[in-house]
Structure 1
Amino acid sequence: MSVLEVGDNFPGNVSFGYIPLTPESEEITSCGIPTKYDASETFKNKKVVLVAVPGAFTPTCQANHLPGFIQNIEALKAKGVEQVVVIASNDPFVMSAWGKANYTKDDFIIFASDSELAFSKAIGWTMGDRTARYAIAIDHGKVIYAAKETERGVDVSGADAVLAKL
């Protein structure tokens, strides 16, 4: 696998670890059970935005990257987006807690783990031992936007940049 570009099919066999939000696991201190999120299969049937961040609870990710997607849920839905998947190299427990700390209450935005950077390494978008900061929009299996930040900050992978390309 290599860098994804507009027009490419989203690759097969891509999955992430995540903990579905349930009434039993909605408290930030409840752990839940990690499960497999089959991105390849899910992305075949939905319009999805995949957002990668270097780390949950880190300054730029928490203050500048994630809030745009949370604040623009209705705008994303208006553009036909059915789900936003936020990934990082953190484990599923940390990603689940990050989602809860940001008051996500349903599965429109899910927080998942790119365990051992399997996906990010496969497309060449890592930052040392972390996922790089990037966004990929997929419409029923086809990549319609893919951009990785080359500088510090959130320019091409933020909600405003993604919304402009949908």
Structure 2
Amino acid sequence: MNASKFIVAAVAMSISVTALGAGGHEDGQAAKNGEPAKASEADRTITVEMHDNYYEPEVIDVKQGETVRFVVENKGSLVHEFNIGTPAMHEAHQEEMEMMVEHGVIQGGKLNHDMMEMDMGNGHSMKHDDPNSVLLEPGQSKEIVWTFSEKGNLEFACNVPGHYQAGMYGDMNFN
């Protein structure tokens, strides 16, 4: 296998594993801890600001069965992610994010949207469109609506290379 086919295959495998993030990634934690919902079902709205390597708020309290509409705003100067998952899911997702940097999809403070559309085979691309996650350029804002179906070890994090390690994550505390 030549090098370019190997890279494409490796990225496709990584993305196909990560694409399961909301439904069955790792040990099935996401599936039992929550699922996407509609904004009309939200019990409340929480605004989350992403700054360069930290979030405001740093901790989010949720209730089992609660549906939360997260309005996520990137107030930093770099591309950042808001991703709801278990620590193991974030660790696995960081490999995909590293590949996105290596292939020029994430370029510091901007995203190469053309590269995100690149066909990786088997219907996979480098799009970052999982229902438990948003990837935003500086000044952008998007929403995630999530129902927390069962108590679990959840956190929110930015998995852009180096950001999680610099402390850009927070806990989801169940009440």
Specify if TM > 0.5: no
Bigger fraction of residues in helix:
1
Q: Which has the larger radius of gyration?
A: 2
